Chain A
Amino acid sequence: MMELKFLNVGILTWITFLPVLGMIVVLLLPKNNKTAMRWTSLGVTILQMALSVVIFQYFNRGLAGINTVDGMQFKEFIPWIDVQSLAILGRLKIDYFLGIDGISVSMVMLTALVSFVATIASWNIEKSVKGFFALLLLLNTGMMGVFVSLDFFLFYIFWEVMLLPMYFLIGVWGGPRREYAAIKFFIYTLFGSVLMLLAMLALYFSVSVIDPSTGMKMHTFNMLAMMNPANFDPASLLGGLGTSMRYYAYVALFIGFAIKVPIFPFHTWLPDAHVEAPTAISVILAGVLLKMGTYGLMRIAFPIFPDAAIYFAYPLAFVGFINIIYGALCAMAQTDFKKLIAYSSVSHMGIVILGMAAFNSQGMVGAIFQMFNHGTITAMLFLIVGVLYDRAHTRGLNDFGGLMNKMPKYSAVMVIAFFAALGLPSMSGFVSEAFVFLGAFQTYRYLTIASAFGIVLTAGYMLWTLQRVFLGTLPEKWNGLTDINTRELISLVPLAVIVIFLGIYPMPIINLMNTSANALVEFVRSGAGMALVGR
């Protein structure tokens, strides 16, 4: 078992809490030393990236994880809260339990990468720099924590921790309607959190394990324990299999995660939040936050409720289809560049949903890979919008034209991002989309055909946007626009390289995830008592 420690602290703790250290440094820095604050934040994200490279290097591709403690890697387990008797709750025990497997490892790497890019994109923030970077770092910890927690309560804490900085980052540093967007985001997510909390408590009281120290039965928030049907007290609320209570609990969890993804009809906070958020925050929002929803489904909802997951598989695939087509059509009708990209995210996340709902190997790998690819590609798209908005202070698609000649370097990066977004082969998005369709078709034949029509719509709105903004002749008022600068290139080029590299040779990332994806599919299918059809 691989253990990586520094100063006797595990690597996952380091990668999660480095930003908090950075935040403390930023807060202690003198108010006018903005440069130091920026470099501190950047340094933290660079260190995180270095750590994620170490994780990539030492991650054991053969271990599945999912429901087995032994399969989890870089584990850290410390009893955290242990209250012996707490009124009716009895003994309350929450553990600091971290670990990653093939489902989370790519998300950890993505979080480090996107945080780095977002920090560079925040370089020209001038309004209360200290607050901004402090919150950005706190947000970073929240995101990282969600992906490494294996204790449901801890997961929930990180989930909520991330909410607060996001609220302020949009609400203070955002556009004209920032307060509305921030509140909408906050309340919407909080609403989902409440449902998640209810499901979590129901699970807590239904699951008991034997405490090795006392030999007594006790409740637990350990996710892995929740995945074992034998740990459910038969008489408890969620005991048994296929009961309506279990379905309600699954739906509650699902809505909590669906809001984050966002799944239709819970998606309307997204366009508003994106339009108002500063570039870096949009990048994080689309690049990482949306994945928490789909990650939550994979990590918690599916393996804990395999019966419900299979029972609701078709509806899940169906909302995936709705997301793909509805998101693409809504994107087509937009005239605001950023809103268009926001809706394209709705469409592209639908592909993740469809892939997961297939519950087979290709679909699941496709879904996780699509989460990673959407993170990099959409981050590029939002950066591209940001570059333009910084210069022109407008995002109207019809206000532009002919930028190709005026901003050639910018346009070159844009071409890569746009064609990656429309799923051109040789770009990473194609591989994951193809996998999702290949997988989903075996489970839902006609629904997948209908969903695949999204590739035509996506090509339509992407190329139409490209034409309106970049081709044609330059309106005279934009004669003063300057091409992309070095700082902006530094944020975009690594993403472009990754997108193309993984499009040509995706194995390095797929290798990380396929053992776990296969195991998850098998676990859910067998857990649901479903005959394993030859798929």
Chain B
Amino acid sequence: MTQSLLLQLSVAVLFLPLVSFLILIFFGKKLARQSDVIGIFLNGAALALSVTILYAKVNFFHDELLNFTFTWISLGNVTLIGPLKFDLGIMIDNLTAVMLVVVTLISFLVNLFSSKYMEGDIRFSRYYANLGLFSFSMLGIVIANNFLSMYIFWELVGLSSYLLIGHWYEKKSASDASKKAFVVNRVGDFGFLIGILVLWANYHTLTYEGVYAAIGSGMIPFQSAWWMTASGLLIFCGAVGKSAQFPLHVWLPDAMEGPTPVSALIHAATMVAAGVYLIARTFPMLTADALMVIAYVGAITAFISATIAIAQTDIKKVLAYSTVSQLGYMVMGLGVGAFSAGTMHLVTHAAFKAGLFLGAGSVIHAMHNALHHAHDHHTDAQDIMNMGGLRKKMPITFWTFVMFTLAISGVPLTSGFLSKDEILAGTLAYGSLTGHMLIPIIGFLVAGLTAFYMFRIVILAFMGDHKDPSRLEHVHESPLAMTLPLMLLAALSFFAFYSLNPIGASSGWFFHAIERPATVVPLDMAAASTEIFEEALHHAHNTAMLFSLLVAGTGILLSFLTYHWKKISADAVAESMAPVHKFLLNKWYFDELYDATAVAGVKGIAALFAWFDGKIVDGIVNGAGSVTKMGAVVSGKFDSIVVDGFVNLTATVAGTFGLVLRKVQTGRVQSYIVFAILGIVVLFFFYRAV
């Protein structure tokens, strides 16, 4: 196995889903029901290749960076710059290799799951086509070796996300959600684009290698420390949009309008993690200040969304907010410098959160069928308050769901415990190094909240008895195509796949393969070095583990006390804190706030400008036209009255004189003689006087 073969294989991985997209978009109608076969087969092939690549990369080229670059656009030789060109390309390091497997694996499982879940959908082949487009774009992000390709595929996943959220576009809520997702992401991408502009203006290259080499040589953007921090944060704006971080997190919960497997793939496991991946890729160029901002954004996001999740009753909404919260965790992890932990949480979360969503899909599927049988079209199939007791009817879904819940709650022996514990240790180390203790405090608090609201779902949906047992008769376990992915993902939620040591990830292959990259920013701007951080981490580790077990246990216990043993009345608590409950139920009023400010503001300005354009700008033009017309009328009148009047007056005067004088010309000789004599007399008189 050579390096170039690995690169070729990764190109094949990239294009297989695109082939699926192209086949289905052009021939989907004719294939009808076989669309899923194509999607599953091609994604399966991509998965097999990805696993091969990961295996080969980690075993044979562990510390090598495989890189392939080609010139996409050349602007020729430019004076004083030399050749100006835009390079695109791919690269494989260990992080890329891991991400290839994550993306193709979840993608494959979701393709498989959807073959039953989406059975009979009106746009079945279109759905599979869009899944292919998504996988292609997402793989493009993962495999890019430069900011330009990253941005290109970044926007393309935005497109596929738009298409899939709006899959049932007949519903206003679905088309609203897809539009919101795209536009909110565009706001983040706007920052990302500016970040790219800064890098290009300074370095005339956009490859990671070129940019980091330039910064490493001391050329910071615009020779300014401020711009160095700003450029990192501007690119981070892209992550804020895509990974649904505060303040742009509002689109993700709405994105649940899409089919549930899509939520699992795109809005839980992979696409939303792209932001985290972007931070990981830009990590070398982030200054200490930039990382601090990132850590706080992550922490705030994790906290806000965890509190919202507690109050929601729609199973997908709870999971959505939980996703936002966990993404905040990852961002926070990278921000504090726990690089391996943050990326590891990305991977472990991808497995168990995809599992949770597919599990929810399985439940919703069963509920739909049961309600359909009972001719009940009013009950909300997604509301956990309408569920209960599903454990007996859907054992596989139940047990896998429990496994995922344990993992996300950070219970030992799960994958989630490993990654979460390392992140928490990282925040504690960061707090001790910088004094920002609020970050670890939020970290532990959110860990407790997560355990609480996740077990709330398990208890309310699966345990106890169903309120209306007759309805349970029609609830059935989902078919194998749906349960198989659940079982696989449940298996992947065990610790052993990531580290053989169940209480420490740092000795496992993952931490060994994906190490924190060296910073390239000048030392006075950089965060604490890896050695110092590792040292602090070492001290923080046991404390962190103790606390994390404590908060997770407390959360789970409270959940059981409240919802299972009913020792605490949830309603009473909600009532006693009614304003808080309402605030959380309404998601901190972010949507209302943005609608009232940004959306209404832009629409208002648009209306104002349109008015200004029509009345003022065009008014002036039309006014100029009218004035000219009036001028024409006036000059017309002037012409006809004054100018022509003068002409006519002259004529009239002449005419009048003519008329008068004509009288003189009588033609009679006698009168002429009289006039002549009179004339002579007058003349004689005058001359005499002289």
Contact = CB atoms under 8 A, between A and B. Distances in A.
Interface of A: 184, 187-188, 264-265, 267-269, 326, 329-330, 332-334, 361-362, 365, 402, 404-405, 419, 424-426, 430-431, 434, 437-438, 441-442, 448-449, 452-453, 455-457, 459-460, 463-464, 466-467, 471-473, 506-507, 510, 514-515, 517-518, 522, 532-535
Contacts of A184: 621, 625
5 closest cross-chain pairs (CB), A and B: A333-B610, A425-B152, A268-B618, A332-B606, A471-B175
A507 B71 CA distance: 10
A402 B186 contact: no
Contacts of A442: 201
Interface string B598-614: 00001101110110010
Given A329-B605, A455-B189, 18 more contacts: A268-B621, A332-B602, A404-B169, A425-B155, A426-B156, A430-B152, A441-B198, A448-B197, A452-B193, A456-B186, A457-B602, A460-B186, A471-B169, A472-B169, A510-B73, A514-B75, A515-B76, A518-B77
Contacts of A425: 151-153, 155-156
Contact of A456 (B151, B170, B190, B618): B190
A472 B610 contact: no
A431 B194 CA distance: 15
Given A330-B606, A361-B84, A425-B152, A471 B166 contact: yes
Contacts of A402: 170
Given A329-B609, A334-B610, A535-B81, A460 B152 contact: no
A330 B74 contact: no
B21 to A, nearest CB: 12
B617 A268 contact: yes
Contact of B175 (A267, A426, A467): A467
A60 to B, nearest CB: 14
Nearest to B620: A265
23 contacts: A326-B613, A330-B613, A333-B603, A361-B81, A361-B84, A405-B170, A424-B156, A426-B152, A437-B197, A441-B194, A442-B201, A449-B197, A456-B186, A460-B602, A463-B183, A464-B179, A467-B179, A472-B169, A472-B175, A517-B75, A518-B76, A518-B77, A533-B80
Contacts of A268: 613, 617-618, 621
B255 to A, nearest CB: 14
A473 B170 CA distance: 5
Contacts, number: 136
A449 B172 CA distance: 33
B78 interface: yes
B73 A431 contact: yes
Contacts of B183: 456, 459-460, 463
A434 B153 CA distance: 14
B602 A269 contact: no
Nearest to A191: B624
B152 A452 contact: no
B617 A265 contact: yes
B526 interface: no
B66 interface: no
A499 B81 CA distance: 30
Interface in B152-179: 152-153, 155-156, 159, 162, 166, 169-170, 172, 175-176, 179
Contacts of B77: 518
Contacts of B155: 424-425, 430
Contact of A437 (B72, B182, B193): B193
Contacts of B170: 402, 405, 471-473
Nearest to A525: B79
Contacts of B617: 264-265, 267-268
A362 B621 CA distance: 36
B513 interface: no
B187 interface: yes
A442 B78 CA distance: 15
Contact of A522 (B72, B73, B79, B197): B79
Given A425-B152, A426-B156, A534-B80, A507 B73 contact: yes
B536 to A, nearest CB: 38
B200 interface: yes
Contacts of A434: 193
Contacts of B80: 532-535
A104 to B, nearest CB: 18
Contacts of B605: 329
Interface of B: 72-81, 84, 151-153, 155-156, 159, 162, 166, 169-170, 172, 175-176, 179, 182-183, 186-187, 189-190, 193-194, 196-198, 200-201, 602-603, 605-607, 609-610, 613, 617-618, 620-621, 625
Contacts of A330: 606, 609-610, 613
Chain A interface SS verdict (over half)? helix
Contacts of B190: 452-453, 455-456
Find the residue from B74, B156, B183, B187 having the highest chain A CB count within 10 A.
Answer: B183
Q: Looking at B77, B79, B187, B196, which has the most chain A CB atoms within 10 Å of its CB?
A: B79
Contacts of A332: 602-603, 606
Nearest to B76: A514
Q: Point out which of A365, A425, A464 has the most chain B C-beta atoms below 10 A from its C-beta.
A: A425
A514 B85 CA distance: 11
Nearest to A62: B76
A457 B155 CA distance: 16
Contacts of B602: 329, 332, 457, 460
A424 B160 CA distance: 12
Nearest to A533: B80
Nearest to A445: B201
A184 B78 CA distance: 43
B79 A532 contact: yes
Contacts of B72: 507
A460 B80 CA distance: 40
A457 B602 CA distance: 9
Contacts of B162: 463
B75 A365 contact: yes
Contacts of A424: 155-156, 159
A449 B78 contact: no
A31 to B, nearest CB: 37
B259 to A, nearest CB: 16
A464 B162 CA distance: 13
Most-contacted residue by chain B among A326, A329, A404, A534 (CB, 10 A): A329
A434 B190 CA distance: 12
Nearest to B628: A187
B19 to A, nearest CB: 15
B159 A472 contact: no
Contact of B621 (A188, A264, A438, A517): A188
B197 A438 contact: yes
Contacts of B606: 329-330, 332-333
A184 B622 CA distance: 9
A362 B78 CA distance: 10
A449 B194 contact: yes
A419 B193 contact: no
Nearest to A522: B79
A449 B620 CA distance: 31
B202 to A, nearest CB: 9
Nearest to A438: B200
A333 B605 CA distance: 9
Contacts of A460: 183, 186, 602
Contacts of B153: 425
Given A269-B621, A362-B75, A472 B186 contact: no
Nearest to B169: A471
Given A330-B610, A362-B75, A419 B159 contact: yes
A472 B173 CA distance: 9
A27 to B, nearest CB: 34
A187 B626 CA distance: 13
A534 B81 contact: yes
A459 B198 CA distance: 23
Contacts of B76: 514-515, 518
A330 B159 CA distance: 25
Most buried by A among B162, B197, B625: B197
